[in-house]
Amino acid sequence: MSSAVSSIPQTRKQTGASIGLVLFRLRAFIALLVLIGIFSFLTPSFFTRDNLIILVGQTAINALMAIGMTFVILTGGIDLSVGSIVGLAAMASGLLINRGVELPPLGVVVYFNIPAIIFLVLCLGTLVGALNGILVTRFSVAPFIATLGTLYVARGFAQLSNDGATFPNLVGKPELGNTGFPTLGADTIAGIPIVIWIMGVFTAIGWFTAAKTPFGRQVYAVGGNERAAELSGISVNFIKMAVYMISGLCSAMTGLITASQLVAAHPAIGESYELNAIAAVVLGGSSLSGGRGTVWGTLVGALVIGVLSNGLVLLGVQEFWKKVITGLVIILAVVLDQLQARFQQRLALRSA
Amino acid sequence: MVSPSSEPNELKLTGAESDVVLLAKQITKVFPGILALDQVDFKVYGGKVNVLIGENGAGKSTLMKILAGVEQPTAGELVLDGHRVSFKNTREAARLGIGIIYQELNLFPNLTIAENMFAAREVTKNGVVQHREQEELARKVLGRLEQPLDPRTLVSDLRMGQQQIVEIAKALSRDVRILIMDEPTSALTGTETEALFRIIRELTAHGVAIVYISHKLEELLRIGDYVTVLRDGKLAAHARAQDVNVTWIIEKMVGRTVRAPSRHNRFHESATGAPMLKVDVLSLPRAGSGFTLENVNFTLNKGEILAIYGLMGAGRTELFECLMGLHPEATGSVYLNGTLLGDATIAERIEQGITLVPEDRQRLGLVQQLTVGQNLTLASLRRHLTWFWLSDRRENESVSAIIRELGIKTRAASAPVTALSGGNQQKVVVAKSLLTKPQILLLDEPTRGIDVGAKAEIFQIINRLAEQGLAILFVSSELPEVLAVPDRILVLSKGKVTGEFTHDDVTEEKLVRAASALQQTDHPTDREQSTILQTT
């Protein structure tokens, strides 16, 4: 449609617009840098090695859940059960370490070593995710409702596991061969906490899966246009099952880390964590209607929340104001998201 | 424009000029990239049934939307009772007595009949809705329509035909002087249609002007007083219904110029060996009773182009859906190269070489959030792997090759697919299918909603693919395409094969007659209704 005569100025305008668009897209990252700059300027204790390690360590908990959540949200779903899965996983690890598994017919109690416990707990989280997936695919329950139900069920089982009491002192016993659980949350490798390494590995795998594998592309397609995806030969139900299982797995990992850090498992661990995870995903630029978002974006989103929270504490801002500010940041992010969508649409129309 | 022999004298019509209540003068409507209406004149006579007819894409719906205030003309004017008017929206048109019954139903399924009829203009007393009064009024209108429906029934509990009646009743419950009906009988049974015709006669006797749009030609001549034919957004003919016949209408609708490219001379292996695709007594039962497809048999050979022609709701889309395995309840057998497909999944069918280019590219063909390149490889991701991840190099090679081959005009493969024009988006959907290396390509209305140039390109591509040995099955409701392109044409009506023609012995008239055979027999299904919903 564009004639040769008008092509030169149009191109220039377009590049200008695209640069604007790129900056717009990177806004979460830019916001992160700006926040870091502001806090470093306002309080000298912010930009120190020790504080940054604490900050990233705190963020890791949320980031792990948010990475799993990203996959769910990319398909246009939502997983409200992640916080409860964190609690259930923490309690399961506590149960396995302190009490073992009783086998009534044999009258013996089996204790597992720590790697086996980690494996079992991860399986449990994946299984709860699979339950969500079955509800969403086989029984066509809306993801919001299905995972809301699982939220209660998983939390209930977390409380039932020890009659609402805490599993204290999860250090294990040498004679049972199950010591070393606190290592996960407390130790460092090359001066960096294991927790941060785990976050790094999960982020890398998550990014690779989403961006580089057929599975990832299919996740985007299902979220973008389910019918078109189906007609392209994509097994929509398989993809949906898988994303809830991924989310369950990530949440179980979070539960293990939390219990390990506390060296105890309390049934209320992870309450309302789902909201932080969703906030991180949204801040990272994912669209709740599906089909748009990245794992890197989610990591940046989680870091924005982490920096905000950490920095405001260092500044001595009251906890209640912290909540107000966090909420405003999330709203601002979504408003900007809408503006970007409109801006992109205009650009697309112009270049058509 | 038209030959004098077949044209009834225009002068005869001028005598009735004073009866024209609404006059559309030199209406032009431009959509981005498409000239939908080109200086069209349209007269609506008071107390008469004014029939508007044309092929899909001829501009009927656009003209009607302009009359009802849904769209505003790019140029031209509307004259109502001698005064120039312009409508910003449907409410303004409604205030002046212009009502419209859309082809796609605009009802709230979660509300009752009465609530639907009085939606947004509820009968109130001190701000409280008077349900009983509304129901009484609704009952009266339904009584006039000879439909003893309880106004308290939820619309979702009604059959499609009954919902259509409610839509009509809704329009009648307002004070209309001009009532536009877009294919009102497409979902009605024979008796319901008869009742509607009686109502139309009653309305016209009271001076109401009806603008009537339908594809059922015999029906049009029965009910119509004046016939206006549109073709390619232009006025093709205007005449009194009593002066014309079905043949005349078809001639005007189709025109003499054929837009689609001519058929290439091809060698196809019809005589040699087994057919590539064999469909054996395929039936698709419909919810309730009867069949959406009934005992459909046909074969398709290597390098052959077979067109499926039929009216809306004839079962064309459902046939393709059955071939792709979307209807597990279908009976009969489909053989691909002699192998029974059975209950293979869509992915398995694609793997075996059968692929579908769906009718509605926005809803079924494209993932809008993905780029052009990502859409292109979506159905063939497995072909673009190194180990277990996607290879950028392989993807780029395939994508740039197919973009070049089909001449897809895009800034880059990384451009958003929504930035492309309709024709190029359609090419992306076709290209996505081609990257699966199919043996059989199913195309459902491949030229819907794209401009004439892009249509020609699509058919050049189809011809070339057939020469390369692909078997091609395409559905079209555009007569020129069906006449020009395929080697064979299969006509469906009400789910049955009502005609099969070869390229050499087919005529427009044969096609139209076969397509309208069995029409008006019984009521269609929800599935067919949803097809209707998709198309507008």
**What is the full DSSP assignment across A291-338?**
S---HHHHHHHHHHHHHHHHHHHHTT--HHHHHHHHHHHHHHHHHHHH
Residues B205 and B347 in one domain: no
Closest CA to B173 of B201, B193, B198, B203: B203
The residues near A329 (Cβ < 8 Å, ≥ 6 apart) are A283, A304, A308
Residues B493 and B384 in one domain: no
Burial degree of A265 (CB within 10 A; 0-12, 13-18, 19+): buried
* SS3 state of residue A157: helix
In a domain, A1, yes or no: no
Q: Specify the CATH number for the domain of residue B59.
A: 3.40.50.300
| A194-212 and A295-314 helices, crossing angle to 10° | 150
Look up the domain containing B188 and give its range. Answer: 10-97+175-254
* SS3 state of residue A260: helix
Closest CA to B480 of B208, B125, B203, B231: B231
- Tell me the nearest-neighbour CA distance from A317 into chain B, angstroms: 40
**B324: chain A residues, CB-CB within 8 Å:** 231
In a domain, B531, yes or no: no
Among chain A residues, CA nearest to B442: A231
Contact A235 B347 (CB under 8 A): yes
Contact B419 A292 (CB under 8 A): no
Contact A218 B381 (CB under 8 A): yes
How far apart CA B384 and CA B391 sit, in angstroms, is 6
Contact B416 A344 (CB under 8 A): yes
In a domain, A7, yes or no: no
In a domain, A286, yes or no: yes
Residues B344 and B493 in one domain: yes
CA dihedral (B211, B212, B218, B224) in degrees, to 10, reads -20
Contact A224 B420 (CB under 8 A): no
- Tokens in use for B139? 């009952």
How far apart CA B113 and CA B167 sit, in angstroms, is 9
Low-confidence ranges of chain B (pLDDT < 50): 1-15, 257-260, 271, 520-536
Phi and psi, residue A5, nearest 5°? -60, -45
How far apart CA B112 and CA B135 sit, in angstroms, is 9
In a domain, A275, yes or no: yes
Look up the domain containing A180 and give its range. Answer: 12-351
Q: In the beta sheet, which residues pair with residue B390?
A: B385
Mutation site, B350, B381, B424, B433, interface A, largest A CB count within 10 A: B381
Strand B440-444 and strand B83-85: the pairing is unpaired
Specify the number of domains making up chain B: 3
Contact B420 A208 (CB under 8 A): no
- Residue B378 in contact with residue B367, Cβ under 8 Å? yes
How far apart CA B50 and CA B179 sit, in angstroms, is 10
Among chain B residues, CA nearest to A227: B364
Query: Angle CA(A288)–CA(A292)–CA(A293) in degrees, nearest 5?
Result: 90
Residues B310 and B337 in one domain: yes
In a domain, B369, yes or no: yes
pLDDT tens digit sequence for B374-417:
999 999 998 898 888 898 899 999 999 999 988 888 888 988 88
Q: Is the pTM of this model over 0.80?
A: no
In a domain, A171, yes or no: yes
**A234: chain B residues, CB-CB within 8 Å:** 347, 378
Contact B418 A348 (CB under 8 A): yes
Contact B419 A220 (CB under 8 A): no
Beta-carbon pairs below 8 A across chains A and B: 91
Q: Specify the CATH number for the domain of residue A190.
A: 1.10.3470
Quickly tell me which residue has 């293990």 as its tokens.
Answer: A256
Contact A225 B366 (CB under 8 A): yes
How far apart CA A271 and CA A86 sit, in angstroms, is 8
**B369: chain A residues, CB-CB within 8 Å:** 220, 223-225, 287, 291-292
Q: What is the predicted pLDDT for the residue at A338? A: 80
Among chain B residues, CA nearest to A233: B347
| A324-346 as b/e: b if 16+ CB within 10 A | eebeebbeebeebbeebeeebee
Residues B75 and B209 in one domain: yes
Strand B277-285 and strand B291-300: the pairing is antiparallel
Terminal CA-to-CA distance of chain A, rounded, Å? Answer: 8
| A49-74 and A82-98 helices, crossing angle to 10° | 120
Strand B488-493 and strand B496-502: the pairing is antiparallel
- Tell me the nearest-neighbour CA distance from A8 into chain B, angstroms: 14
In a domain, A71, yes or no: yes
Q: In what order do the strands lie in the sheet with B291-300?
A: B291-300, B277-285, B331-336, B339-340
The residues near A108 (Cβ < 8 Å, ≥ 6 apart) are A102
Boundary (domain end) residue, out of B416, B437, B458: B437
Mutation site, A7, A18, A231, interface B, largest B CB count within 10 A: A231
Boundary (domain end) residue, out of B402, B437, B472: B437
In a domain, A53, yes or no: yes
For residue A131, the number of C-alpha atoms closer than 13 Å in the C-beta half-sphere is: 19
- Tokens in use for A338? 């809408």
Closest CA to B129 of B139, B140, B143, B117: B117
Strand B49-54 and strand B226-231: the pairing is parallel
Boundary (domain end) residue, out of B437, B465, B484: B437
Residues B325 and B445 in one domain: yes
Residues B345 and B474 in one domain: yes
Contact A225 B385 (CB under 8 A): no
- Tokens in use for B378? 């979506």
Q: What is the predicted pLDDT for the residue at A21? A: 72
Residues B301 and B380 in one domain: no
Q: What is the predicted pLDDT for the residue at B12? A: 42
Q: What are the DSSP E strand ranges found in B352-493?
A: 354-357, 385-386, 389-390, 440-444, 471-476, 488-493
The residues near B324 (Cβ < 8 Å, ≥ 6 apart) are A231, B346, B349, B354, B356, B442
Among chain B residues, CA nearest to A74: B369
CB nearest to A214's CB, from B33, B364, B390: B390
In a domain, A159, yes or no: yes
**A291: chain B residues, CB-CB within 8 Å:** 367-370
Specify the number of domains making up chain A: 1
Residues B423 and B287 in one domain: no
The residues near B518 (Cβ < 8 Å, ≥ 6 apart) are B493, B494, B496, B498
ipTM higher than threshold 0.90: no
Closest CA to A308 of A13, A8, A27, A39: A39
Q: What is the predicted pLDDT for the residue at A237? A: 95
pLDDT in tens, chain A (352 residues): 333 333 334 445 556 667 777 777 777 888 899 999 999 999 999 999 999 999 999 999 999 999 999 999 999 999 999 999 999 999 999 999 998 888 888 778 888 999 999 999 999 999 999 999 999 999 999 999 999 999 999 999 999 999 999 999 888 888 888 888 999 988 999 989 999 999 999 999 999 999 999 999 999 999 999 999 999 999 999 999 999 999 999 999 999 999 999 999 999 999 999 999 999 999 998 988 899 999 999 999 999 999 999 999 999 988 899 889 989 988 888 888 788 777 766 665 555 4
Residues B337 and B194 in one domain: no
Mutation site, B323, B356, B369, B409, interface A, largest A CB count within 10 A: B369
CA B237 from chain centre, in angstroms, equals: 22
Residues B378 and B431 in one domain: yes
Closest CA to A263 of A164, A172, A161, A193: A172
Residues B92 and B15 in one domain: yes
Contact A235 B419 (CB under 8 A): no
Contact B390 A223 (CB under 8 A): no
Q: What is the predicted pLDDT for the residue at B527? A: 39
Among chain A residues, CA nearest to B376: A232
- Tokens in use for B42? 């349209």
Q: What is the predicted pLDDT for the residue at A219? A: 97
